[in-house]
Structure 1
Amino acid sequence: MLGRRGGRSLLAATLLALAALGWLVAGWFSAGPLERATAFMVPDGSSLGGVASKLEAQGAISSAKAFRIRARIFGAGAPIKAGEFMLPKGASPSRILSIIQGDEILRRFVTIPEGMPSIMVYERLMANSQLTGTIEVPAEGSVLPDTYEIDRGESRQAVLRRMQAAMQRTLAELWAKRSPDTVVTTPAAAVSLAAIVEKETGKSSERGVVAGLYSNRLRQGIMLQADPTIIYPITKGKPLGRRIRQSEIQAVNDYNTYTMIGLPKRPITNPGRASIEAVLNPAQTDVLYMVADGTGGHLFAKTLDEHNANVERWFTIRKARGDF
């Protein structure tokens, strides 16, 4: 009796496994939902998950989750390439992956995200196999974060020159439109302050207030005390990967705004257009302090007492998370 039950269980498991395999195979090679040929862009540095979500959003596949599962089982080991691709009408998930892993690129792009430091710009350009030649690490703050079209075989130096020219054009345009309330007196100072704003907030809605806060501190001769300025001379802008040490807070150098009044001698990253614009047109505010709020944003305060209460709130959140 037990043997029969065991045999039935084994048969059921086998049939279930075959059904699952049939589902995987059919879904991978069957026609997809695209009703017409569609151009699809893969941003530089995209992950399989990110591309799958974008494919689903554009109606090229039925399920991002199913695409990821099948791609990991059946897909070739080749990396996804950045660029613009043409996906045929009814392209199967298998065909789509083959296209974005292959050389059927209509247009090629390289993306520099807002706040990417120059050492990482250098690494991204050097790692791009479509480009040729070598470059030096560009001056910090000289590159405008954006998505740039590139040609196969184009020199890295030519691409870098375009990125730097874009920064110069953008800076000149925004400088001409600056508010009389901006605290910075030169375009170079605008980039240095914008770099701090860029690193201090990832929320676009906060940029103007953060710019206003640091503008207030500069006017009043108060140290900026921006943590990213401590980290920059240690990592050249890359993530620190640990808590800042007390000795690093007290370090005296050209960047640490905990031991100097005013701006760092040079930018600490490549700020985007929005952060430069925020510095040149800061929000009208009386705030002088800010601390993280646990949601990716900040709590702002006008007085030290308000700020200390906000800091206590932040420490409570961190303790609840088990940070210390």
Structure 2
Amino acid sequence: MWKAIASNALTLFIVILFLVAGVISWGAKQYRDEGPLETAICLRVPSGSNMRLVSEDLAGQGAITSASIYRIGADYTELEDQLKAGAFLIPAGATMEEILDIVTRGGQSTCGTEIVYRVGLTGLLAEVRELDPETNRFEELVEWDPAVEPEAPEDYTRVREAADTRYRVVLPEGLTSWQVVQGLNAVEILAEPVEDIPPEGMLAPDSYEVQPGTTVASILQRMQSAQAAILAAAWAEREEGLPLASPEEALILASIVEKETGLAEERPLVASVFENRLIQGMRLQTDPTVIYGVTEGRGVLGRGLRQSELRGETPYNTYVIDGLPPTPIANPGRASIQATLNPADSDYIFFVADGTGGHAFAETLAEHNENVARWRQIEAEAAE
């Protein structure tokens, strides 16, 4: 009799083990299988939230099949206490494992509403926009120019006061260091405006995520570190035989290329023109350097150059001096630096605007004069 009881107990124990193993296997499969979410969502995790509240929110939005399994997975992987506050983009079909990684990895928001401060040549523009999870595109909600409207729009103020709002500062290619500093000093959420101007050319144009209270100096340091890395990498991979003796000279020429064309496909050609001129001992004869000599990089000239300025002897007047000016004339972007150190293979030594937003290039003075005459005709017709 005891043998029968023991045998039955053992059988029951084995059955229970199989059942438990099956449940664990089923739970693990649910945890790692593609999720039920059909379209991406923006999951908001407020400060002070916990994994239970997040799991219930995910289940309520149809992103996971089981809040309990999600929490067990978080506990098993020891990520229960690693939850970060923010707004996170949860892609369609994301597994519980992937979602858990998204909300615990780094804490940087990946969706939701953000305020973008765009620093321009003449001022600052604030843009409130929101990411549409389904299209993964930002939709503009409101735009605010503080110089035109001293009082912020209601939508801007509302978003500015929200706890999960993201902030970004965008600095385009071609700004001078003075313009960058003035722009950053004008961003209301940044702290501790600075007076000292960093070296020209050594601020990497880019989009930088910031937080209220971020200091201006810390952003400038990030920009300098980024530009130094970009320049070092491009110099290491430069084409052989360039008429540039150092990374500093490359940065100077890249700043001229940046100011001469806004077309990405033209940058290597424009760089080739200036480098061909340097090789042949010709003066660069480029207006942007003259303008920099007049303004000293502080603001926009706002008019055409005068003949006296084109003939004036300044260190930046490349119609008068030989070779490169002493410093960059703006902060070039990565593309202009790379184009300068890997220029197009051309024999061009001239270029002039062609009326389409680009330039007409020429190898001889006769060809160049024809292109200039064509451009003058386009200018005259536009003035009629």
TM-score of the pair, normalised by structure 1:
0.73
- In 1, distance between residues paired with 2:130 and 2:373? 39
User: Which AA in structure 2 matches 1:297?
Assistant: G
Partner of 1:259: 320
Contact 2:116 2:167 in 1 (8 A): no
Partner of 1:188: 248
User: Which AA in structure 2 matches 1:114?
Assistant: E
**Matches for 1:1-324 after TM superposition, within 5 Å:** 36-37=41-42, 39-45=112-118, 78-79=151-152, 99-100=158-159, 102-135=161-194, 136-237=196-297, 238-322=299-383
Contact 2:142 2:156 in 1 (8 A): no
Larger RCO, structures 1/2 (Cα 8 Å, 6+ apart): 1
Structure 1 gaps of 5+ residues are: 1-33, 81-93
- In 2, distance between residues paired with 1:222 and 1:172? 28
Over 3 Å counting, the alpha-carbon distance change for 1:149 and 1:213 in structure 2 is same
Specify the SS of the correspondent of 2:208.
Answer: strand
Structure 2 gaps of 5+ residues are: 1-38, 43-110, 119-123
Contact 1:181 1:281 in 2 (8 A): no
Specify the SS of the correspondent of 2:251.
Answer: helix
Q: CA deviation at 1:254?
A: 1.1
Over 3 Å counting, the alpha-carbon distance change for 1:306 and 1:102 in structure 2 is farther
Contact 1:182 1:282 in 2 (8 A): no
Q: CA deviation at 1:213?
A: 0.6
Q: Tell which deviates more after alignment, 220-229 or 147-156.
A: 147-156
- In 2, distance between residues paired with 1:41 and 1:271? 26
Specify the SS of the correspondent of 2:336.
Answer: helix
- In 1, distance between residues paired with 2:370 and 2:288? 23
More helix by share: 1
Q: How many pairs does the alignment contain?
A: 265
Over 3 Å counting, the alpha-carbon distance change for 1:97 and 1:178 in structure 2 is same
Over 3 Å counting, the alpha-carbon distance change for 1:53 and 1:248 in structure 2 is farther
- In 2, distance between residues paired with 1:97 and 1:255? 42
Over 3 Å counting, the alpha-carbon distance change for 1:215 and 1:59 in structure 2 is closer
Contact 1:181 1:282 in 2 (8 A): no
User: Which AA in structure 1 matches 2:117?
Assistant: D
User: Which AA in structure 2 matches 1:44?
Assistant: Y
Contact 2:273 2:348 in 1 (8 A): yes
- In 2, distance between residues paired with 1:176 and 1:60? 37
Contact 1:78 1:101 in 2 (8 A): no
Q: Tell which deviates more after alignment, 197-206 or 141-150.
A: 141-150
- In 2, distance between residues paired with 1:52 and 1:41? 6
Partner of 2:102: none
- In 1, distance between residues paired with 2:184 and 2:164? 18
Contact 2:113 2:128 in 1 (8 A): no
Q: CA deviation at 1:320?
A: 0.7
Q: CA deviation at 1:172?
A: 0.9
Partner of 1:85: none
- In 1, distance between residues paired with 2:215 and 2:374? 51
More strand by share: 2
Contact 2:159 2:165 in 1 (8 A): no
Contact 1:230 1:249 in 2 (8 A): yes
- In 1, distance between residues paired with 2:130 and 2:164? 20
User: Which AA in structure 2 matches 1:111?
Assistant: V
- In 2, distance between residues paired with 1:35 and 1:170? 34
User: Which AA in structure 1 matches 2:264?
Assistant: S
Q: CA deviation at 1:102?
A: 4.1
Q: CA RMSD in A?
A: 3.0
Q: CA deviation at 1:142?
A: 1.3
From the CA coordinates, give the structure whose radius of gyration is larger: 2
Contact 2:113 2:129 in 1 (8 A): no
Over 3 Å counting, the alpha-carbon distance change for 1:157 and 1:101 in structure 2 is closer
- In 2, distance between residues paired with 1:212 and 1:60? 37
Deviations 1:3-52 (A, max 9, x none): xxxxxxxxxxxxxxxxxxxxxxxxxxxxxxx995453444322858x768
Over 3 Å counting, the alpha-carbon distance change for 1:102 and 1:235 in structure 2 is farther
Specify the SS of the correspondent of 2:165.
Answer: strand
Contact 1:79 1:101 in 2 (8 A): no
- In 2, distance between residues paired with 1:152 and 1:137? 22
Specify the SS of the correspondent of 2:269.
Answer: helix
Specify the SS of the correspondent of 1:43.
Answer: strand
